[in-house]
Structure 1
Amino acid sequence: RRADGAQRIGLIGFSAGGHLAGLAALTPGATPDQAVQFAVLGYAITSMETETYRPARLILLGEGASPELRRSTSLDALVTPGSPPFFIWHTAEDPYVPPEHAYRLATALAAGGVPHAVHVFAHGPHSLGLARGAGQTELWTTLAETWIHEQV
């Protein structure tokens, strides 16, 4: 907590929670005491514009969501040059949230000149969390830790 003297605040989220963490990190007009310094997203839903993982979009936005609402809740549409750095990881085999979501956000971050790292591991289902025992995908926590320390 900042009230306890924290100098840097980061967010982490997975799947739909990754979408929420991304929205919080990209909040336009956040004051310095509200802003985060980095975000770590795992197999996150980043776009409400794609048809992939439609159930999350329906839960969040409802059946009749307008294209404008879908765009305004898509992380790639919210990236600005002042956005915080992002660490994004995903798996190519995710049957629920395809890696397209990671690529869309990474493309927007690159276009905005926002520091980021993207790792798409070949194997692994959805809902891996820390990915313990999941082969190479298990490395994401080590990679993220190193990346976070580099964001000073």
Structure 2
Amino acid sequence: MTSFDQLQDVITREHQFEIQFICKFPKKSQLSASFEAQKRNYLFTEIPFGNFSYLFQFYDSSAFTKVINPNTYPVKVKLKDMIYMGIKVQSSLSNIRLFVESCRATPHDNPNDPIYYDIITNGCTKDKTTKVYSGSLKEFQFGLQAFSFIGDYEQVPV
């Protein structure tokens, strides 16, 4: 069962509805809304410039000092909890600059999924809960409230 306010909505930060019931299971189970990050680095090569790679990570707080271990992915969070992410470029080239033009979430690990939610578009935040933190010319740090896609989706790849 799924409820929604507007037909065009693709995400929610609210619990959809609540039905009280009692149920007993012979074993334990766990339900959660979670995020799953891309776990491997992307390597780009351009002959006149050399090599560089991007590293996308989750952090445990807005201090961006402790990286969440990728072995614990997917990161499990409650709806509306703040989640903190950062992307940085790694290169031996001194003149590399990072500009995050876009960031979107999809219900599957496919950036071209027809169902998506824009977080950043054309360098501007689109999600009202997104906060950009000071970084450097080679890194971008931001946080936003956790959400889930409306429908039967377990994770939110960013």
User: Structure 2 length normalisation: TM-score?
Assistant: 0.25
Bigger strand fraction: 2
Largest Rg, 1 or 2: 2
Superposition TM-score, scaled by structure 1 size = 0.25
Structure showing greater relative contact order (alpha-carbon pairs closer than 8 Å, 6 or more residues apart) = 2
